[in-house]
């Protein structure tokens, strides 16, 4: 058995106000229909269009020519802002990582990538969250900034469902069959062992059924996926229980009935074949009386 080794100006109004001393509202109220229609009208003459195009080209050229300088100015402003806020005590002094297991704590803290006394106001919280969520342990993360000086990173890790052995290698997998990168299988001796191709994707179906039967579960050494269709349960004493490809729950119910009646799991056997519906075939172990 193998073992565990992400607006224009209101020109008419202004003119009236200047000459007659009247306010803007009064001048506009006495304007004729022709004057009202002229207010805000754009000059779309060919000359105006040409001037607008030339002005646009000049502005674009100025931006392209001074891009590096503008970036330097922006960086300088940002640096001064950071210096001002940190001088006010708005800087990282405390980091709290919550929800992380002891095994994942150090790697998550490294992924946060924040140093002591770093400006906290300009800190990119989304970038911090993305780095943390890239850690294999982490399913999702939330980053909260508490002024003046505290950063909280709350994580939810992948659940540990089983140890999956395939191709001579062992991995810790979650309930979706995903490998938890960085998890050491040797640190989880109490997790069930599932073996073979496809076992990672189907373990979440069979394990809850076995968890309902602690007497049987306590005796299982490994669950072996056979032809990516069904399971063999290998017990710690070397015995084998063969489950069908479909309706596994019914097969286990038949096994429960036989064990309650005959104390089968205590007697010892070489093999129990549950692959045929409504039938249980038992092969005694060698030397059994």
pLDDT in tens, 99-138: 999 999 999 999 999 999 999 999 999 999 999 999 999 9
Among 137, 157, 177, which residue terminates a domain?
A: 157
Instruction: Let me know whether 258 and 208 are in one domain.
Output: yes
Domain that holds residue 69: 42-87
Contact of 269 with 252, CB cutoff 8 Å: no
Q: Is 100 exposed, middle or buried (0-12, 13-18, 19+ CB in 10 A)?
A: buried
pLDDT bin (cut points 50, 70, 90) of residue 18 is: very low
**Both 183 and 278 in a single domain?**
yes
Same domain as 184, residue 273: yes
Tell me: do 145 and 255 sit in the same domain. no
For position 132, which CATH number holds?
Answer: 3.10.20.310
Is the pLDDT at 288 greater than 70, yes or no? no
Mean pLDDT of 7-31: 39
Asked if 179 and 278 sit in the same domain, the reply is yes
Examine residue 24 and state whether it is found in any structural domain, yes or no.
no
The answer to whether position 13 is within a domain reads no
Q: What is the pLDDT of residue 37?
A: 36
**Confidence band (pLDDT; 50, 70, 90) for 151?**
very high
Q: Which of 52, 87, 122 is the last residue of a domain?
A: 87
In this structure, the answer to whether residues 123 and 210 fall within a common structural domain is no
Same domain as 100, residue 82: no
Q: What is the pLDDT of residue 115?
A: 92
The last residue of one of the domains, among 33, 53, 87, is 87
Residue 271 and residue 245 share a domain = yes
Count of the separate structural domains present in the chain: 3
Q: Is pLDDT of 48 > 60? A: no
Together in a domain, 128 and 64: no
| 256 & 188 share domain | yes
Q: Is residue 11 part of a domain?
A: no
Q: Which of 8-12, 213-217, 220-224 has the lowest mean pLDDT?
A: 8-12
Residue 1 lies in a domain: no
- The full 3-state SS of 229-246, as one line of letters, equals CEEEEEECCCCEEECCCC
Answer yes or no: is 9 within a domain: no
What pLDDT band is residue 287 in, cutting at 50, 70 and 90?
A: low
Compare 75 and 189 and report the one with higher pLDDT. 189
31 falls within a domain: no
| Higher local confidence (pLDDT), 251 or 68 | 251
Write down the pLDDT at residue 286. Answer: 73
Residue 195 has pLDDT above 70, yes or no: yes
Residues 57, 131 share a domain = no
User: Are residue 66 and residue 113 in the same domain, yes or no?
Assistant: no
Confidence grade of residue 280 (pLDDT, cut at 50, 70, 90): confident
Instruction: Provide the percentage of residues in the chain whose pLDDT is more than 90.
Output: 60
Q: What is the pLDDT of residue 27?
A: 37
pLDDT score at 54: 47
18 occurs within a structural domain: no
Can you give the pTM of this predicted structure?
Answer: 0.66
Contact 166, 195 (CB under 8 A): yes
With respect to residue 3, please indicate whether it lies within any of the assigned structural domains: no
């Amino acid at each position: 058995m193998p073992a565990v080794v992400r607006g224009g100006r209101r020109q008419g109004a202004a003119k009236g106000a200047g000459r007659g001393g009247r306010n803007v509202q009064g001048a506009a109220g006495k304007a004729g229909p022709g004057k009202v229609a002229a207010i805000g009208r754009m000059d779309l003459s060919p000359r105006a269009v040409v001037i607008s195009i030339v002005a646009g080209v000049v502005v674009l050229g100025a931006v392209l020519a001074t891009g590096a300088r503008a970036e330097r100015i922006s960086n300088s402003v940002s640096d001064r802002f950071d210096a001002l806020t940190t001088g006010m005590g708005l800087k990282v002094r405390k980091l709290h990582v919550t929800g992380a297991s002891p095994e994942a704590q150090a790697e998550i803290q490294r992924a946060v990538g924040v140093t002591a006394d770093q400006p906290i106001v300009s800190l990119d919280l989304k970038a911090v969250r993305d780095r943390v969520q890239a850690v294999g342990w982490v399913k999702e993360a939330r980053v909260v900034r508490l002024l003046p000086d505290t950063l909280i990173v709350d994580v939810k890790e992948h659940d540990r469902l089983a140890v999956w052995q395939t191709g001579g290698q062992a991995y810790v997998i979650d309930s979706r069959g995903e490998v938890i990168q960085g998890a050491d299988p040797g640190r989880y001796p109490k997790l069930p062992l599932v073996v073979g191709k496809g076992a990672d994707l189907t373990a979440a179906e069979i394990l809850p059924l076995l968890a309902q039967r602690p007497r049987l579960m306590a005796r299982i050494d490994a669950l072996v996926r056979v032809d990516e269709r069904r399971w063999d349960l290998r017990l710690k004493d070397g015995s084998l229980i063969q489950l069908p490809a479909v309706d596994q729950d019914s097969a286990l119910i038949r096994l429960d009935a036989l064990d309650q009646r005959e104390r089968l799991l205590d007697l010892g056997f070489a093999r129990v074949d549950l692959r045929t519906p409504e039938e249980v075939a038992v092969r005694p172990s060698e030397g059994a009386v």
